[in-house]
Amino acid sequence: MAGSATPRPAEPPAAAPCGGFDIAVAFSGGLDSTALLHATARSCGGRRVLALHVNHGLQAASEAWEVHCRAQAAALGVGFASVQLSGKPAPGESIEAWARAGRHAALQAMSLDAGADLLLLAHHRRDQAETWLLQAMRGAGLAGQAAMPAAQWRDGVCWARPWLAQPRERIEAYAHEHGLRWIEDPSNADPRFARNALRQHWAAFAEAEAGLAQSAVWAQQALHLAEEVAEADLGVVAPAGPLDLAAWAGLTPARASNALRAWLAEQVGQAPASLVQRLVRELAPAASARWPAPGGWLEAYRGQLQWRPQSESLQGTERLLDLSQPGCYPQPDWGGVWRVAATEHGGVPAECLRALRQHARVGGEQFQSAPRSTARALKKAYQSAALSASQRGGPLLSLGEHLLYAPGLGLDARASQLPGQPRFFIEWQADPDLPQGEGAASPSE
């Protein structure tokens, strides 16, 4: 078992590491990583080994665990480095996801800092089976069901799992045979975490462990095949970057979905399943629409689908609008829609909405937020309201030379003082999924 601790994949890193350590081992202090560090130290063949510890700060004993790990590394004659995570999970983010993201980032950074191009992790066959089962229960596709790869290059560091095919019983036997000491993390018994809840009932699935792990292998092979097909298809449907919608529509449904997923991953950095499914339903060669996407938005126009980063603000042409009737008035070039509804209180007289100028900010606009307040620079009004750039997105509406409406702030208070009936409330709504044909804008340029 010790001899299997340091395999390397055939692919070399982009550049050779300079100095420092040769092999890093992710070392939590638990049974599995303790056994892996011990086996690596015994079989490293003169290569320099470094134990990497991430202190999550989630347990009262976290500091004591770090002291234990440092002592274990010293006893084995290997180097030791540690990082303590700071911050906390974002609202709605699970502790597991936050800790995993922080741990991965810390391990990558410490490996690079130490000059180690190989990072070993102690995941074993049961871990792989659990990962496959949890992903399957979440409805994951091939990428999720492929679970954990045995080796993967990440920005110059090879993340390797040499014991991925080993049963945990063999690792336990190794640890007892060598009299190793390890930490028992009490959070591993907390049933609030999905993996822990599964482990409490693992005895019922023990015989299926090898089969589930093998399913991950089949999924990895199918994923690699899908990637090869996507690479070939993208050379035809997206040779210059944008997706050629006519060529894409000519693919079979399975290949079209596969190519779209790969194209999104290239352009956006990820391919959310919900977005892929929506685009498959709504994209067409003649489509002219926008969809929200991670970090920006997607635009179908003139037979091509392109991703636009958030930094590229939507800005359409200046025009006159008649908003004097209730309804929806899509503005595709601005990426949104005007919604007009009757109101008994406040609002704007219908007569004042017959010839509004829709335009971009040019500077110098004045906005009055309340009836008895003083009109001030629109920029100052946005700053006082603490509105982000995305909340300010959209066109302005002016009546003559006076500002009537600003996205995020709403109607200028002076508009509600204008006399006349009936009265309407107007609102700008950013809407990448524009309801084409609904309402009737009457531009006059």
In contact, 166 and 208? CB cutoff 8 Å: no
Q: Any known ligand binding at 398?
A: no
In contact, 322 and 445? CB cutoff 8 Å: no
In contact, 57 and 96? CB cutoff 8 Å: no
Q: Any known ligand binding at 32?
A: yes
DSSP strands (E only) in 151-240: 151-154, 157-160
Q: Any known ligand binding at 363?
A: no
Helix (H/G/I), strand (E/B), else coil: 130:
helix
Helix (H/G/I), strand (E/B), else coil: 339:
strand
Listing from the earlier edge strand, what are the strands of the sheet with 118-120? Answer: 79-84, 49-55, 23-26, 118-120, 157-160, 151-154
Helix (H/G/I), strand (E/B), else coil: 445:
coil
Residue 355 corresponds to which tokens in the numbers above? 């010839």
Q: How far apart are CA 290 and CA 337, in angstroms?
A: 12
Which residues does 211 contact at the CB level (< 8 Å), separation at least 6?
none
Is residue 167 reached through a cis peptide bond, with omega within 30 degrees of 0 on the bond before it? no
Q: Any known ligand binding at 33?
A: yes
Q: How far apart are CA 291 and CA 326, in angstroms?
A: 26
Closest C-alpha to 23, from 41, 35, 11: 41
Please, what is the end-to-end C-alpha distance for the chain in angstroms? 78
What length does the chain have? Answer: 445
C-alpha distances (whole Å) from 261 to each of 70, 89, 248 are 44, 28, 12
State phi, psi for 327 to the nearest 5 degrees: 150, -170
Instruction: Output the known binding site for ATP.
Output: 28-33
Instruction: Output the known binding site.
Output: 28-33
